Amino acid sequence: MTLKVALVAGPMYDHLYTVFDDHDVQVVVHADHPTLNAEVAERLGRGERLDLISTHSKYAPSQRSWLQPLDDLLASTTIDALAPGAVELCRHDGALLCAPRLIDVRVMWVRADRVASVPDTWSELVESDVVFGFTGRESGLFGLFFELVVGAGGRLFDGSAWPVFESPESVDAVEMIVELSRRAPRELVDWHYDDADAALLEGFVDASAAWPGGWQAINSSPLSEVLHPYPYPAGQVRRVSYSGCHAWAIPRSCADVESALSILGELLDAPAQQVDASGGNMVASVAALAAVEPVSEIDARRIRITQDTIAASMITYPALERFPIIEDAGWRAINAAIRNECAAADAVRQIQDVALRTLESTNP
């Protein structure tokens, strides 16, 4: 039987997919993550068969009703070979909804030929004249907001996963995002991840954050010798990076679980994970990651900073089944503030209102 698979697309992900060349698969979705999520939800929601899908630790809870828990399907040796922290990020209410492919945290890349003194904090960055590039929409923008709020000592959700967006830290975060956007290219308001990466490599910005998988493009760029990695800026209280795991899941609609598990086992095994790591990704396989050899001093520094960030600075959202609705409303409100269509406090209030309505409808 030909397996139907749905894959996340992008330069930092696509190099792995040669693994599928030796298998009978049909790629029915190959798209950026927001588009992938929408397409998977539409297909699974109408009962269509999908056999293996790309997902993410923060989105899997919203797909829970469609996914098969993997605890009793994957061999314990396969799970034990993965980084325990990554595995835990992929659990929801104790069930392993997906198997981690890689761990994402952000590192700041700076043009050494343009920036003499690299800002170490968000406040220093705002006060400097450094042109900082970032995604102006979708999960990247909401993630930046999350980082700024938590770095300043604030919260988006309380200990019961109830929304507490309205706070001085949240308003300050939106105002900081707006201020940073004012000295960036006007197109930033529409940038997705790949656009922000391209702006850095094409010289439109002086600095930008990048996921580990961005390393391959940075290393092969004409600017490779002047782009240097630094820890992500710290907030007033702590240094954090919004994080999570790209992952694999098997839907309940899978028509051939045995074949899907066979491919999944291969994807999680060290050889395939080494292919993923060759592009710079911080893969979940402990053995594959340990086998990575830096190709330069800059690469060694990048790996060290990324590992330190994973060890000490990762933050993630609560596992909420309706989180995508909140995230979507959140980035749109912040994007409106960047466009000068509303004040920062109004944007925060809008996010809080949507979050409350969303969660109240889930728990009436």
Residue with tokens 């979507």: 328
Give the per-residue pLDDT at 279.
86
The predicted pLDDT at position 362 comes to 66
Closest alpha carbon to 144 in 315, 352, 298, 355: 315
List the chain domain ranges. 3-104+244-290, 107-242+316-362
- Rounded distance, CA 109 to CA 116, Å? 13
**Which pLDDT does position 302 carry in this prediction?**
95
Pick the CATH number of 3-104+244-290 from 3.40.50.300, 3.40.190.10, 1.10.10.60, 3.40.50.970: 3.40.190.10
CA dihedral 265, 270, 276, 279 (to 10 degrees): 180
What is the reported pLDDT for 8? Answer: 96
Nearest to 16 by CA among 220, 268, 201: 268
pTM over 0.85: yes
Span 132-181, pLDDT tens digits? 999 999 999 999 999 999 999 999 999 999 999 999 999 999 999 999 99
Same fold, 3-104+244-290 and 107-242+316-362: yes
CB 334 within 8 A of CB 145: yes
What backbone torsions phi and psi does residue 251 show, to the nearest 5 degrees?
-65, 160
Fold of 107-242+316-362: D-Maltodextrin-Binding Protein; domain 2 (3.40.190)
Q: What is the pLDDT of residues 263-301, one digit of tens each?
A: 999 999 999 999 999 889 999 999 998 888 999 999 999
Judge contact between 59 and 323, C-beta under 8 A.
yes
Answer for the pair 4, 51: CB distance below 8 angstroms, yes or no. yes
Q: What does the pLDDT profile of the chain (364 residues) look like in tens digits?
A: 899 999 999 888 998 999 999 899 999 999 998 899 999 999 999 999 999 999 999 999 999 999 999 999 999 999 999 999 899 999 999 999 999 999 999 999 999 999 999 999 999 999 999 999 999 999 999 999 999 999 999 999 999 999 999 999 999 999 999 999 999 999 999 999 889 999 999 999 999 999 999 999 999 999 999 999 999 999 999 999 999 999 999 999 999 999 999 999 999 999 999 999 988 999 999 999 888 899 999 999 999 999 999 989 999 999 898 999 999 999 999 999 999 999 999 999 999 999 999 999 865 4
Q: Do residues 134 and 208 touch, judged by C-beta distance below 8 A?
A: yes
- Decide: 232 and 238 in contact? Cβ < 8 Å: no
Residues composing the chain? 364
Per-residue model confidence (pLDDT) at position 193: 87
CA distance 201 to 221: 7
The CA-based dihedral angle spanning residues 323, 56, 304, 265, taken in that order and rounded to the nearest 10 degrees? 160
CB neighbour list of residue 59: distance below 8 Å, 6 or more residues apart: 33, 37, 323, 324
User: Which residue type, as a one-letter code, is found at position 316?
Assistant: T
